[in-house]
Amino acid sequence: MSAPLTADRLGLLVCRSCGQLTRPARQQPERYRCPRCAARLYRRRPDSLNRTKALLIAAALLYIPANTLPVMSVISLGSEQSDTILSGVLFLLSGGLWPLALLIFVASILVPLGKLIILGWLVWSVKQQCHFRRRDRTRLFRLVDGVGRWSMVDIFVVTLLGALVQLGELATIEPGAGATAFGAVVVLTMFAAQAFDPRLLWDPSENEVGHG
């Protein structure tokens, strides 16, 4: 079976900003811009793998304090109680709020960890010039890129509670250091997904026979 027909083999460049396919001019194609949105066009995003790896390493290092440090502190009648993401999930389960507990567990623990693992695996597969299941890996990247922003649901809950529960000396909710670390993890993984160029997944097929 012949190698998959790609835009690169046809001499086309895709704009990462608006998705426009363009055939670049023969003179200085590296300086070509999208005719629709004027964004700079590249055959492959410069230094994509190194930038993605750096962002993933930073996110992985912050993932530990994000899950071990308290994300929220409740000060009520002079006493203070701090909760991590996991302890908050357990508290919701004990109160019978399992749908909300499941939502926060998936969005705040599984999704960021899954993004780290999947993006790291995609970077590794490109470095190893793997040519297996290219379409599936591309779909997996699109899924990771699309669901990453929903990891912020835990931060939204803390922010909302902090804004609503301000009863002076009776009760106050304040975000903890874990919330800052967790927010950084989410942002870094989103930047990592943006830095990764999925077209690199198809490069090994340009000069070889594969199944895609």
CB 88 within 8 A of CB 133: no
Q: Give me the pLDDT at residue 209, please.
A: 40
| Token pair of 13 as six digits | 């460049």
pLDDT value of residue 128: 87
Q: What is the pLDDT of residue 164?
A: 47
Kindly state whether residues 102 and 149 are assigned to the same domain: yes
Measured CA to CA, the distance from residue 32 to residue 26 in angstroms comes to 10
What is the DSSP-derived secondary structure letter of residue 8? T
21 and 100 assigned to the same domain: no
Query: Would 102 be classed as within a structural domain?
Result: yes
For the chain, counts of helices (H) and of strands (E): 7, 5
pTM, 2 dp: 0.74
Q: Are residues 96 and 186 in the same domain?
A: yes
pLDDT at 108: 79
**15 and 111 belong to one structural domain:** no
Full residue range of the structural domain in which residue 61 is found:
47-205
Q: Domain for residue 158, yes or no?
A: yes
Pair 69, 176: CB distance under 8 Å: yes
Q: Which ranges of the chain have pLDDT less than 50?
A: 1, 164-165, 167-168, 170, 207-212
- How many degrees, rounded to 5, is the angle at CA 26 between CA 20 and CA 32? 45
The answer to whether residues 4 and 199 touch, using CB atoms and an 8 Å cutoff, is no
Distance CA(100)–CA(129), nearest Å, equals 41
Same domain, 95 and 125: yes
Same domain as 59, residue 23:
no
Q: Report the number of distinct structural domains present in the chain.
A: 2
Token code pair at residue 88: 């908050």
Same domain, 149 and 58: yes
Q: For residues 131 and 81, state if they share a domain.
A: yes
Q: Is residue 95 domain-shared with residue 142, that is, in the same domain?
A: yes
Residue 211 lies in a domain: no
How high is the pLDDT of residue 25? 66
pLDDT of the residue at 1: 45
Q: Are 35 and 51 within one domain?
A: no
